[in-house]
Structure 1
């Protein structure tokens, strides 16, 4: 058995359901072994597995977003290693975040699979096993993309173990796919209501096959399998919601959501600044301090959209208004809470790149009270980032019911569901997979469904290539914790980050042994605690 030193003991929490997490106090001194073999106890263990998704997706976004072509630091710094690579080392604290959280999830999943055989048997046990296998596979997928080959730990560990082996990336991908193929036959085939279902499993399979297709060890049919799984998920469903509807607060369980991490206001009520998530905190300039408490979300000024990101949108693309808060009113949240905003005073306006001099003059004449931010002066390259409101804000994650907490980006205050996967991305996965499989015409059809919903002209076959897909993913998925994985998967990380992020040069990626820093380093704590001297660091960091 390959074993891992578990860095953090996972607290066993009991929750009533995915939609209504409630902490339970054990007043009867019942041990875990006694509790988990009961129907109630095992359901609590399954829900604890879901709860750990909040820790993976609810906290720092650096490993998902930093150091790419779409986001760069504004007034406040990102972690320098992850954002600019030249200082990236195994000792950087943020490198450890996903490694620890993913292995916490894996250990919790291993416990659930262990107790599945000895707990009180009900008709839901096979379904629960399928759900847990999905979550374990998802954790390994995050790990293998980020760090390469890692230790496959598949059994419940009760004792501290100080020696473990490192599996190859090929072995990890094979394990992920086998887990998901088993889960397919176990999980519910019903609609998504907060729990893993058949569609979510097929969707993850499409992403895993697509990602492995770019690896040297990927089988020749990975692209075609990714396309088939994606088409199974699509199932002929069109993108019927407007982009604005898709991101309307309170509409997170809409028809296009394939899988999301569940939050709500009641479930974080016992600690409303630590149990929510941080997605609204990033992606824009600071919007004021305690003087506007309750009237605006906290924005960290850390991950501001680059000028390149803003330039990707063309006139008529509904995703421009659906993604960005282009007009800020006297009270920020009036955008969400006032039905007729035509009489509201505009305090700030952020110009799109297609505005002409005539467009600018017309807007200024109609809104003389507004501070006008010309294009090229509201991104981190052009803005005066010493003040507030000076870079454009991504609005689509805003939670009007969240607290304003002056503590900053460490506070987890949003109680909106965190959307992990949705239908438009599946269309784009299919587009990329068909392109890789040599069926560009079919891939173009999938991509153009996304553009149809956005209200822009179809792409042509002549322009349809990997870079076009990455641009389309940027427009559609801005801020959705995808970008580093997209660039790493497609082999475009160095090229596009150095081309479009002013803080990154190609030489920043130079590592040891003549290799580039593409994978993240295995955290130094994991290396130091491991007594297996043959466990290798990623060679660019040796």
Structure 2
């Protein structure tokens, strides 16, 4: 590999954070070098790799979902460059977040692999190294999808190096696959729900996604799609989608159902030192502002990345994912002189004093359905009740009516804990699920379709629809657009949408069609006749690199 490293400020922050992490446990004042050479110290280093994922996934998710067909700006503004493309430049807000955090994890893994050769040799050491390689491969996969070719950094640097080269995207994909193949050979097989650690299923799942994505590239291998299908089936391992959809994201299940393949893990106790900054923000998005803790006791919400008309219209009658994804009724409960909104849904189930403040009617409701619902629920209605007709609660409708609770809340990521987020700020200690079985079935569906075996692909997709309680798709319907629609239903709010659209070549077509902030393909026009599909290499990276031949992406 070329000798290369990230920028000085990032490396300095990394070393400082890692040292702080170790010092908290280093009660005997043993040096970090000596600590890492023990089995217990090496385990701490491996744990640090997992912790770095929180920086990648725990903050604002603009680079994962903004500027797509599923989510758009509500009352609060999103970063204009990432959400609308015209203003997307190397110095735009949010561009460097993923680049920075991925390289922090990469350097942590580099240190882990270095110390694996000098630490106490134990029977589980190869498995620990395999876990680290998986995490490094995932970081590079995020980087190469987002920015294209990036520097391949594999050395454990102990002092900053400010001159680095850029590898090609093809080289990065080759490296990722090599890493994952090495990981697959050594990681364990224990169920993720019992260990919370990388296992062979997680590696097979990521290998499927990497081969599927590379298959679309000009340098992709002819066998990539078939290989992706094989790895996806290995990750599925014959397991049916038997967990009811509403159980997958139920807060009481702690996000570790039998279908969770991998996640970024949090613990409420670990946030006690800084409850308003530790934890993650996934719950904070995909909803309107509901009044806030001080006013109504409701959770603070961003009022951006709100579902589009397209996203809401994906669901059909009897699809169990509709009510499992959205809070179709916002409940209220009078407590003393205050009326609490939203949380009574979780905390006071069955209380006869619960009232309905808001109801969001699904698209299949007719006038007769509305009349029947109002009659059936007359005794439950708040004096301030609002009936939201279909077509009046998407992101775009905020241009017409911009008030609290105007857009329907996504509830999949709710954290109804008594102490987070309402009384401590906009953080959550629920895990962020980054891989689960339902998605793997859809990865397999796409891979089989692209490999020229649509009949098996349709079977994989219909397994997802059967679990949701809806009619199976037909062979005539089965194409990339249908798969993207199904992923929209299955994965709403999860951090995959921009990558799905970019991979399949549907980013421009679908955002122009469905995102009210992106009205014309010309918004993607960049320099040199290039389109803004890849994100720009962050300006900070360019400025601090002493290798002035480091190329920016052509559109910028």
1:217-228 to 2 correspondences below 5 Å: 217-228=219-230
Determine the C-alpha separation between the residues in 2 that align with 1:517 and 1:304.
23
Match of 2:112?
Answer: 112
Preserved CA contact (<8 Å) 1:247 1:396: yes
1:246-285 to 2 correspondences below 5 Å: 246-251=248-253, 252-285=255-288
Relative to structure 1, is the Cα distance of residues 81 and 385 closer, same or farther in structure 2, using a 3 angstrom cutoff? farther
Q: Report the Cα offset of residue 387 of structure 1.
A: 1.7
> SS where residue 67 of structure 1 aligns?
coil
Q: Report the Cα offset of residue 340 of structure 1.
A: 3.0
Determine the C-alpha separation between the residues in 2 that align with 1:245 and 1:138.
27
Q: Report the Cα offset of residue 14 of structure 1.
A: 7.8
Encode CA deviations 1:386-414: one digit per residue, 9 max, x unaligned.
Answer: 3211100100100001534599xxx6521
In structure 1, which of residues 413, 416, 439 is the aligned counterpart of residue 453 of structure 2? 439
Match of 2:208?
Answer: 206
Q: Report the Cα offset of residue 339 of structure 1.
A: 4.0
Determine the C-alpha separation between the residues in 2 that align with 1:197 and 1:506.
42
Residue 366 of structure 1 pairs with residue 376 of structure 2: yes
Match of 2:78?
Answer: 78
Q: Report the Cα offset of residue 333 of structure 1.
A: 1.9
1:154-233 to 2 correspondences below 5 Å: 154-192=154-192, 193-233=195-235
Q: Report the Cα offset of residue 23 of structure 1.
A: 8.3
Preserved CA contact (<8 Å) 2:415 2:421: no
Match of 2:243?
Answer: 241
Determine the C-alpha separation between the residues in 2 that align with 1:336 and 1:289.
17
Length-normalised TM-score, structure 2: 0.93
Encode CA deviations 1:309-352: one digit per residue, 9 max, x unaligned.
Answer: 10111111110000000000003122223443676311100111
Determine the C-alpha separation between the residues in 1 that align with 2:40 and 2:25.
14
Residue 403 of structure 1 pairs with residue 413 of structure 2: no
Determine the C-alpha separation between the residues in 1 that align with 2:354 and 2:347.
12
Relative to structure 1, is the Cα distance of residues 343 and 459 closer, same or farther in structure 2, using a 3 angstrom cutoff? farther
Q: Report the Cα offset of residue 27 of structure 1.
A: 4.8
Preserved CA contact (<8 Å) 1:49 1:108: yes
Residue 288 of structure 1 pairs with residue 305 of structure 2: no
In structure 2, which of residues 350, 356, 361 is the aligned counterpart of residue 346 of structure 1? 356
Match of 1:122?
Answer: 122
Encode CA deviations 1:404-446: one digit per residue, 9 max, x unaligned.
Answer: 4599xxx652111111100000000000000000000100000
Preserved CA contact (<8 Å) 1:275 1:412: no
In structure 2, which of residues 512, 523, 535 is the aligned counterpart of residue 498 of structure 1? 512
> SS where residue 271 of structure 2 aligns?
coil
Q: Report the Cα offset of residue 268 of structure 1.
A: 1.5
> SS where residue 177 of structure 1 aligns?
helix
Determine the C-alpha separation between the residues in 1 that align with 2:252 and 2:146.
32
> SS where residue 463 of structure 2 aligns?
helix
Length-normalised TM-score, structure 1: 0.95
Match of 2:142?
Answer: 142
> SS where residue 59 of structure 1 aligns?
coil
Preserved CA contact (<8 Å) 1:324 1:396: yes
Q: Report the Cα offset of residue 292 of structure 1.
A: 4.4
In structure 2, which of residues 388, 402, 408 is the aligned counterpart of residue 386 of structure 1? 402
Preserved CA contact (<8 Å) 1:66 1:83: yes
Q: Report the Cα offset of residue 266 of structure 1.
A: 1.1
Using the TM superposition, name which of 188-197 and 424-433 deviates more.
188-197
In structure 1, which of residues 498, 516, 519 is the aligned counterpart of residue 534 of structure 2? 519
CA RMSD of aligned residues (A): 1.7
Match of 1:12?
Answer: 18
Aligned residues: 531
Determine the C-alpha separation between the residues in 2 that align with 1:177 and 1:25.
35
> SS where residue 425 of structure 1 aligns?
helix
Determine the C-alpha separation between the residues in 2 that align with 1:418 and 1:346.
30
Q: Report the Cα offset of residue 463 of structure 1.
A: 0.6
> SS where residue 185 of structure 1 aligns?
helix
1:51-62 to 2 correspondences below 5 Å: 51-62=51-62
Using the TM superposition, name which of 509-518 and 356-365 deviates more.
356-365
Determine the C-alpha separation between the residues in 2 that align with 1:412 and 1:23.
28
Determine the C-alpha separation between the residues in 2 that align with 1:530 and 1:299.
38
Preserved CA contact (<8 Å) 1:298 1:406: no
Determine the C-alpha separation between the residues in 2 that align with 1:37 and 1:302.
47
Q: Report the Cα offset of residue 13 of structure 1.
A: 6.0
Determine the C-alpha separation between the residues in 1 that align with 2:23 and 2:79.
33
Match of 2:337?
Answer: none
Q: Report the Cα offset of residue 382 of structure 1.
A: 2.0
1:425-436 to 2 correspondences below 5 Å: 425-436=439-450
> SS where residue 357 of structure 2 aligns?
strand
Encode CA deviations 1:28-50: one digit per residue, 9 max, x unaligned.
Answer: 44322122112221111111111
> SS where residue 358 of structure 2 aligns?
strand
Q: Report the Cα offset of residue 366 of structure 1.
A: 3.0
Determine the C-alpha separation between the residues in 2 that align with 1:412 and 1:118.
42
> SS where residue 252 of structure 2 aligns?
coil
In structure 1, which of residues 458, 463, 467 is the aligned counterpart of residue 472 of structure 2? 458
Match of 1:413?
Answer: 427
Preserved CA contact (<8 Å) 1:59 1:412: no
Which segments of 5 or more consecutive residues in structure 2 lack a partner in the other structure?
A: 333-340
Preserved CA contact (<8 Å) 1:85 1:508: yes
> SS where residue 269 of structure 2 aligns?
coil
Relative to structure 1, is the Cα distance of residues 239 and 338 closer, same or farther in structure 2, using a 3 angstrom cutoff? farther
Match of 1:314?
Answer: 316
Determine the C-alpha separation between the residues in 2 that align with 1:406 and 1:70.
30
> SS where residue 12 of structure 1 aligns?
helix
The structure carrying a bigger helix percent of its residues is 2
